[in-house]
Structure 1
Amino acid sequence: MGYETAKAQFAEWGVDTEAAIARLKGIPISVHCWQGDDVVGFESRTGSSGGGIQATGNHPGRARNPDELRADLEFAYSQIPGKHRLNLHAMYLDTDEAPDRDEIEYRHFVPWVDWAKDQGIGLDFNPTFFAHVKADDNLTLSHPDAGIRAFWIEHGKRTRDIAAQMGRDLGSPAINNIWVPDGYKDLPIDRMAARGRLEESLDTMLSETKPNMRDAVESKLFGIGVEACTVGSHEFYLGYAIRKGTLLCLDMGHFHPTESIADKLSAVALSLPEILLHVSRPMRWDSDHVILLNDDILAMAQELVSADLLGRTHIGLDFFDATISRTAAWVIGTRNMQKALLNALLKPWGRLRAAEDALDFTTRLTLTEELKDLPYGSVWAEFCARSDVTSGQTLVRDLDAYQASVADR
């Protein structure tokens, strides 16, 4: 079906496809760097992943250095409509030096900033509280040892400095997202003490106001090695974000599989001016699969649009799958996020709300089901064409060709 026919069909339902395309074009998604190299990073010192971080698989083509990772990202961005951002972890520094985590400085990331300028994209940042000898106990900011806490507090302070300078030099505030793996494999005796230490460490780390950046805190249900207790739970960080004025990061892979992020969005938005969203796909545990265009993603996107939260929500991705082409994973996941947003933008929300407000649940159900038959794919294809990005079988060939070019790494 051609776009003009689809446009007319949506118009019959009171939906303006041109307005939806224009809105979608202006929504940046922060693409996560760690999908490209299986969360290994580019530090000279060795470390192992921990706290529930585990990329599975050994598909050929993993990026081994910053140049390869940037080349892979450039290809991925070329297959994604619109202009987006890059979410960079502190372990992805680009330098010949070997600073420890409490010694990193802005200069160690300048090549990334220069590249971002060339690409015309913004950067977001993350301290890396895992894959380090001082995180082997799965305790960092809540560690009983004051010296270890001081090490990680200093690391966090330095990442905030770096994020602020990134935001300044790129003219776009950087989100600096704080996630720690802290927790216990077996039942702890004193949860309160651990959470008190975490709060005190965060307060110290965030004590200085920084321009050109925003702080976010991210919760988790559990992970490998912290099955019994996660110190930074959802309840802990929800309260912290409300009291301290940080953003709250809702990661779709950090809750029980039956919990709905779509339901949480409007609930937390009543108490928080801004939200950070990490889009992922859990399966059984926090496995962070590449996101599908499934009911969970569609419901989350519809809540963002229906509740008018797009202007208050920073959308990022967080998955790492090493069983498939890493560049294809980026492209598929990001495009599915965009498809979900487009689907939500192509809904006659006024008509749906009117039925609900009148308690006419029959009409509400009839509308939601009939709308599923509209030609969303034709509008998506038009959006891709206007962005000079391929779709359909051409996209499959492009992804396969790039993977073949990097398979010998």
Structure 2
Amino acid sequence: MTTAYEQARAAFAEWGVDTESAMATLARIPISVHCWQGDDVGGFERKSGASGGGIQATGNHPGRARTPDELRADLDFAYGLIPGRHRLNLHAFYMDTDETPDRDQIELRHFTPWLDWARDRGIGLDFNPTFFAHAKADDNLTLSHPDAGIRDFWIEHGQRCREIAAGFGKAQGSQCVINHWVPDGSKDIPVDRMAARERLWASLDRMLTPQHDRAHMLDAVESKLFGIGVEAMTVGSHEFYLGYAIHRRIALCLDMGHFHPTESVADKLSAVALSVPDLLLHVSRPMRWDSDHVILLNDDILAMAQELVFAGLLPRTRIGLDFFDATISRTAAWVIGVRNMQKALLRALLLPQDRLKAAEAALDFTQRLALTEELKDLPFAAIWAEHCARADRPTGATLVADLARYQASVAGRG
């Protein structure tokens, strides 16, 4: 233990906070790292696809992963700079196979290299169907498409993805979260919103009907405010999926980029937690809308982490990241983003929760304000540095140098 840590530990102890307990709790919180940051949401399908779904990474920074092996190497580097044990969130079109299955033909064997890699490293896999970047999604309609044949195609895709997720969960001995997001919507003002939402509801019911062991797989559904090409109406709105998650007793995914910039997703956590059994978070930074910037250690992230801790939601919340920025080093984006989420959680765990709640319960808002402001001066950074040191992970100038060195090694990728 360093002198700086011992002094910081004593400072927190004066407020009744046990820094050792906070670090131990943080070490047990896995964060699901999103694979699509590493290659600009391109995927590795051998069949030719199409654009669609409002998914776009901007920039052309050198070093994009071009193969599954390159992506796994980049992930190995990133995990090596992040304390704790974490997960990988994999999209369906990141299959690793010499075969050319269409989306309604994929099987667990098409992901065997990913499963073997994750098992060797003690990394849990999460999964997502890919309802975009395909010729049958070019109208930004999939599960709500008026054509029953197209709906059937995507229902089959979703069912096969759920089978794959259950296979991941069984093989790895930990629950695989499978998140369902579709790009469906209308660019201009529709005249029959109800019909589209009825079709989506019915398609989801069919897709989620096959039962899988909950110990192996957890379904989640994700809403969105709007996107490119669906500015007028998103079929799967927040209200739609909140109702659907309650209806099916499944997890609700809240993506920080999928709401109006003035809305607080942190505020939504306790509200929806009263109605749904589980929560999934996609932590992002929307500068205007769903622009998916790398998360900063800003007020939004700090508020999210504090709500998770103070509301007791960590046991039934899965935390994942969702951003993609091709203007900067992709591996650095992973490392900085995950570490910022961890820093926010650690700061929340280092607050004297009981004392703050007692002031609020007594309607002593002056005391609450005074405590909140004084606590900001506590030496959080020293606790984070100690946490990283114990995990043999760098901080400060050493971290920056490591990030730059790796980026230089991959910059020559075409």
Instruction: Find the counterpart in structure 1 of residue 112 from structure 2.
Output: 110
> Is residue 201 of structure 2 the alignment partner of residue 178 of structure 1?
no
Instruction: Find the counterpart in structure 1 of residue 363 from structure 2.
Output: 359
CA-to-partner distance for each residue in 1:168-224, whole Å, 9 max, x for gaps? 000011001000000000000100000000000000000111121010000000000
Shift of 1:44: 1.1
Amino acid at match of 2:315: G
CA-to-partner distance for each residue in 1:38-62, whole Å, 9 max, x for gaps? 0000001233432221100010000
Kept after mapping to 1: 8 A contact 2:143/2:200: yes
Residue among 151, 154, 160 paired with 2:153: 151
Instruction: Find the counterpart in structure 2 of residue 142 from structure 1.
Output: 144
Instruction: Find the counterpart in structure 2 of residue 258 from structure 1.
Output: 262
Residue among 21, 26, 29 paired with 1:27: 29
CA-to-partner distance for each residue in 1:56-92, whole Å, 9 max, x for gaps? 0010000000000000000000000000000000000
> Is residue 52 of structure 2 the alignment partner of residue 46 of structure 1?
no
Q: Following the alignment from structure 2 to structure 1, what is the Cα–Cα distance between the partners of residues 24 and 271?
A: 28
Amino acid at match of 2:55: I
Residue among 369, 372, 376 paired with 1:372: 376
Please give the secondary structure, in 1, of the residue aligned with 2:403: helix
Kept after mapping to 2: 8 A contact 1:52/1:222: no
Superposition pairs for residues 387-402 of structure 1, below 5 Å? 387-402=391-406
Superposition pairs for residues 274-293 of structure 1, below 5 Å? 274-293=278-297
Q: Following the alignment from structure 1 to structure 2, what is the Cα–Cα distance between the partners of residues 311 and 295?
A: 23
How high is the TM-score relative to the length of structure 2? 0.98
Instruction: Find the counterpart in structure 1 of residue 251 from structure 2.
Output: 247
Superposition pairs for residues 86-97 of structure 1, below 5 Å? 86-97=88-99
Q: Following the alignment from structure 2 to structure 1, what is the Cα–Cα distance between the partners of residues 53 and 292?
A: 14
Amino acid at match of 1:306: F
| Structure 2, gaps ≥5 residues long | none
Please give the secondary structure, in 2, of the residue aligned with 1:285: coil
Amino acid at match of 1:103: Q
Instruction: Find the counterpart in structure 1 of residue 318 from structure 2.
Output: 314
Kept after mapping to 1: 8 A contact 2:250/2:277: no
Amino acid at match of 2:11: Q
CA-to-partner distance for each residue in 1:269-322, whole Å, 9 max, x for gaps? 011121000000001121100000000000000000000000010000000000
Q: Following the alignment from structure 1 to structure 2, what is the Cα–Cα distance between the partners of residues 196 and 246?
A: 19
Instruction: Find the counterpart in structure 2 of residue 162 from structure 1.
Output: 164
Amino acid at match of 1:386: R
Please give the secondary structure, in 1, of the residue aligned with 2:292: strand
Kept after mapping to 1: 8 A contact 2:90/2:127: yes
Q: Following the alignment from structure 1 to structure 2, what is the Cα–Cα distance between the partners of residues 122 and 48?
A: 30
Q: Identity over aligned residues, as a percent?
A: 77
Please give the secondary structure, in 1, of the residue aligned with 2:290: strand
Q: Following the alignment from structure 2 to structure 1, what is the Cα–Cα distance between the partners of residues 51 and 221?
A: 20
Q: Following the alignment from structure 1 to structure 2, what is the Cα–Cα distance between the partners of residues 52 and 340?
A: 29
Amino acid at match of 1:234: H
Instruction: Find the counterpart in structure 2 of residue 121 from structure 1.
Output: 123
Amino acid at match of 2:123: I
Structure 1 segments of 4+ aligned residues over 4 angstroms from their partners: none
Kept after mapping to 1: 8 A contact 2:52/2:139: no
Instruction: Find the counterpart in structure 1 of residue 189 from structure 2.
Output: 187
| Structure 1, gaps ≥5 residues long | none
Instruction: Find the counterpart in structure 2 of residue 206 from structure 1.
Output: 208
Instruction: Find the counterpart in structure 2 of residue 196 from structure 1.
Output: 198
How high is the TM-score relative to the length of structure 1? 0.99
Kept after mapping to 2: 8 A contact 1:52/1:286: no
When structure 1 is superposed on structure 2, of 40-49 and 388-397 the one drifting more is 40-49
Q: Following the alignment from structure 1 to structure 2, what is the Cα–Cα distance between the partners of residues 334 and 50?
A: 28
Q: Following the alignment from structure 1 to structure 2, what is the Cα–Cα distance between the partners of residues 47 and 385?
A: 45
Q: Following the alignment from structure 2 to structure 1, what is the Cα–Cα distance between the partners of residues 17 and 266?
A: 23
Instruction: Find the counterpart in structure 2 of residue 16 from structure 1.
Output: 18
Instruction: Find the counterpart in structure 1 of residue 69 from structure 2.
Output: 67
Q: Following the alignment from structure 1 to structure 2, what is the Cα–Cα distance between the partners of residues 106 and 237?
A: 28
> Is residue 38 of structure 2 the alignment partner of residue 36 of structure 1?
yes
Q: Following the alignment from structure 2 to structure 1, what is the Cα–Cα distance between the partners of residues 259 and 22?
A: 31
Q: Following the alignment from structure 1 to structure 2, what is the Cα–Cα distance between the partners of residues 349 and 75?
A: 36
Amino acid at match of 1:233: S
Q: Following the alignment from structure 1 to structure 2, what is the Cα–Cα distance between the partners of residues 149 and 29?
A: 33
Q: Following the alignment from structure 1 to structure 2, what is the Cα–Cα distance between the partners of residues 313 and 341?
A: 13
Instruction: Find the counterpart in structure 2 of residue 79 from structure 1.
Output: 81
